[in-house]
Amino acid sequence: MADMTYREAVAEGIAREMRLDPTVVCLGEDIGAAEGVFKTTVGLFKEFGPTRVWDTPISEQAIVGAAMGAAMTGLRPVAEIMFSDFLACCWDYLANEIPKVRYMTGGQVTVPLVVRTANGGGLGFGAQHSQAVENWAFTVPGLKIAAPSTPADVIGLLAAAIRSDDPVVVFEHKGLFASRGPAPPAGHVVPLGQASIARQGRDVTLVALASTVPIALQAAETLAADGIEAEVIDLRCLVPLDMRTVLESLARTSRLVVVEENPYQGGWGATVVSIVADEGFELLDAPIRRVAGECVPLPFADSLEAQVIPTAARVIDVVGQLAAY
């Protein structure tokens, strides 16, 4: 299979669904003629034209609110929120409207929409353009949440998300856009809620998501040289959350480290840990550790930013401590 970038996979993943289903439409800022500020919508405007790919004003509430109204009435909108930090500008729709309308109408209304957004740090964009905020969405029952780590998963998860009758937030990681991987075959779909085992190992389980998958894999390589075999689980989705895969791995390894980019306080890893501390308590041979973002805003300077987001070195350090436990 040919290689492609994660960035290319986004546009390709959307295009594949748009070809299959004429009700799939895109809207967002600068996604049309400009092809996206991250170049993640390249080719869409050319192929599908202005009735399928819509440039919007800077109106995040109108973007997501209109997507919701359209999803309630026969379309499958794919709305882009340029940086995930800006989800805060339309948070009412993500938190109070979209995830609740099916429930509060007793099932009368469904909202098959996708909100895509560029998430995460590492590029020196500062406090308001660098956050990993997948944990914000995780606080809201009623949203499905995908966060791919490879180009193939981007395409497969976008397919599942766009076809889903439930609302899905897809977190594309800014730090991964330039990364490469095999292009998946036509028809590739990754069902929502199925973690993948990115690396097998018997000594410790590393649970990761999106940007932290390559970090965990890199740490695992170094640890292997020291004789510690880490199993790396790529959750792929936060909702549905594939705890079965995590607990099964833990049954083999007895040790758990969660590697997450969002801040430690309120991070999604805490929920994973709390399930394990309940249902997997007897499997544990050592404390559970979380390598997470520091509880500070994201600093601009690259040297500072590297100190507050997870690194392979921190993972290696923490696993070393657990192994010695």
Partner 1 sequence: MNDLLRMYELMAVIRRTEKAAYDLFMAGLVKGTTHLASGQEAVAVGASEALRDDDYTFATYRGHHHTIARGATPEACLAELMSKATGLCGGKGGSMHLTYAAGNMLGSYAIVGSHLPMAVGAAWSAQLRGSEQIAVAFFGDGATNIGAFHEALNLAAVWKLPVVFVCENNLYMEYTPIASVTAVANPAADRACAYNLPASIVDGNDVLVVRSAVREAAARARDGGGPTVLEMQTYRHFGHSRTDPATYRPSWEVEEWLSRDPLTIAAAQLSKEDVAAADARAEKVVAEAVEAAKAAPPAEGALTDVWADGSSTWRT
State yes or no: residue 320 binds partner 1 (CB under 8 A): no
Q: Which H or E run contains 152?
A: helix 151-163
Return the structure tokens found at 197.
């085992």
Question: Of 244, 262, 259, 274, nearest to 204 (Cα)?
Answer: 259
CB of 222 to partner 1, least distance (A): 23
In whole angstroms, what is the distance from residue 102 CA to residue 120 CA? 30
Binding partner 1 (rule: CB under 8 A), the pick from 137, 162, 216, 241 is 241
In whole angstroms, what is the distance from residue 315 CA to residue 133 CA? 21
CB of 265 to a second copy, least distance (A): 6
In whole angstroms, what is the distance from residue 79 CA to residue 82 CA? 9
178-207: which residues touch partner 1 (CB under 8 A)? 193
State yes or no: residue 317 binds partner 1 (CB under 8 A): no
- Give the one entry of partner 1, a second copy, ligand TPP, none that residue 289 binds, where binding means its C-beta sits below a cut-off of 5 to 8 angstroms depending on kind: a second copy
Binding a second copy (rule: CB under 8 A), the pick from 267, 291, 311, 312 is 267
CB of 29 to partner 1, least distance (A): 7
Contact 4, 56 (CB under 8 A): no
State yes or no: residue 270 binds a second copy (CB under 8 A): yes
State yes or no: residue 21 binds partner 1 (CB under 8 A): no
State yes or no: residue 60 binds ligand TPP (CB under 6 A): yes
First to last CA, the chain: 43
CB of 122 to ligand TPP, least distance (A): 18
Name the residues annotated as catalytic: 60, 129
For partner 1, which stretch binds (CB under 8 A), given 5-13, 172-180, 214-222, 242-250?
242-250
3-state class of 324 per DSSP? coil
Binding partner 1 (rule: CB under 8 A), the pick from 43, 62, 197, 320 is 62
CB of 291 to partner 1, least distance (A): 16
CB of 96 to ligand TPP, least distance (A): 9
Binding ligand TPP (rule: CB under 6 A), the pick from 86, 93, 171, 268 is 86
DSSP state at residue 95: I
- Give the one entry of ligand TPP, partner 1, a second copy, none that residue 310 binds, where binding means its C-beta sits below a cut-off of 5 to 8 angstroms depending on kind: none
State yes or no: residue 168 binds partner 1 (CB under 8 A): no
Binding partner 1 (rule: CB under 8 A), the pick from 2, 51, 178, 324 is 51
Backbone angles phi, psi at 60, to 5 degrees: -60, -35
Give me the residues paired with residue 146 across strands. 170, 237
State yes or no: residue 95 binds a second copy (CB under 8 A): yes
Return the structure tokens found at 45.
């405007």
3-state class of 309 per DSSP? coil
In whole angstroms, what is the distance from residue 230 CA to residue 129 CA? 32
Question: Of 67, 64, 78, nearest to 17 (Cα)?
Answer: 78
Q: How far is CA 56 from the centre of its chain?
A: 24
State yes or no: residue 260 binds ligand TPP (CB under 6 A): no
Pairing verdict, β 144-146 and 237-239: antiparallel
Cis peptide leading into residue 240 (ω within 30°): yes
Contact 167, 137 (CB under 8 A): no
Q: How far is CA 165 from the centre of its chain?
A: 19
For residues 13 and 99, which CB has a smaller minimum distance to a second copy in the complex? 99
Residues contributing to the site for ligand TPP (CB under 6 A): 29, 58, 60, 82, 86, 89
Residues contributing to the site for a second copy (CB under 8 A): 85-86, 88-89, 91-92, 94-96, 99-100, 103-104, 126-128, 133, 135-136, 138-142, 239, 241, 262-271, 273-274, 276-279, 281-282, 284, 286-290, 294-297, 299-300
